[in-house]
């Protein structure tokens, strides 16, 4: 597990939030009576069949849901890797930084170490422990 993989956790949260918004919009369109209003989009001004419209919305919703499942699986992998570290301080540092997205000052206050010590000694140690655990498996 690399530092870059850990950094992706917060990016995945952003992507999940986006997918959840898109799913909510699609669900609203499918369930809303207003969703039944279709515009002329076919050849010669033909109206699309309502069933096709709903099917496409559901298909897109399923696509977003599948992508969300993949992201959740990646996040679980990261959380499990951090949980497998033996040293509790290292687990806290990595969890606070990459899972919770805290800044170094907040992390240092929570674990009761100076910010310099946390950033330059404890964090690299935690990353090494994570790498060693991941390489062994």
DSSP 8-state secondary structure symbol assigned to residue 79: H
State how far Cα 20 lies from the chain centre.
11
Rounded average pLDDT over 93-115: 97
Same domain, 91 and 76: no
- DSSP letters, 10-52, are HHHHHHHHHHHHHHHHHHHHHHSGGGG---B-SGGGPBPPHHH
Say what the alpha-carbon torsion angle 129, 131, 135, 137 is, to the nearest 10 degrees. Answer: 60
User: Do 111 and 76 share a structural domain?
Assistant: no
Q: What is the pLDDT of residue 43?
A: 56
Per-residue pLDDT tens over the stretch 64-75? 999 999 999 999
78: domain range?
1-83
Contact status, residue 91 vs residue 83, Cβ threshold 8 Å: yes
Whole-model pTM?
A: 0.77
CATH number of residue 134's parent domain: 1.10.10
| Lowest mean per-residue pLDDT among 58-62, 63-67, 93-97 | 58-62
């Amino acid at each position: 597990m690399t530092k870059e993989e850990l950094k992706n956790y917060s990016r995945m949260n952003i992507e999940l939030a986006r997918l959840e918004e898109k799913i909510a919009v699609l669900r609203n369109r499918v369930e809303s009576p207003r969703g039944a209003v279709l515009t002329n989009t076919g050849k010669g001004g033909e109206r699309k069949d309502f069933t096709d419209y709903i099917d496409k919305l559901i298909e897109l919703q399923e696509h977003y849901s599948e992508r969300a499942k993949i992201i959740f699986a990646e996040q679980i992998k990261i959380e499990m890797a951090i949980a497998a570290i033996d040293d509790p301080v290292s687990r806290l540092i990595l969890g606070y930084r990459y899972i919770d997205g805290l800044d170094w000052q907040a992390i240092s206050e929570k674990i009761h170490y100076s910010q310099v010590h946390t950033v330059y000694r404890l964090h690299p140690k935690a990353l090494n422990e994570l790498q060693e655990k991941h390489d062994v498996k």
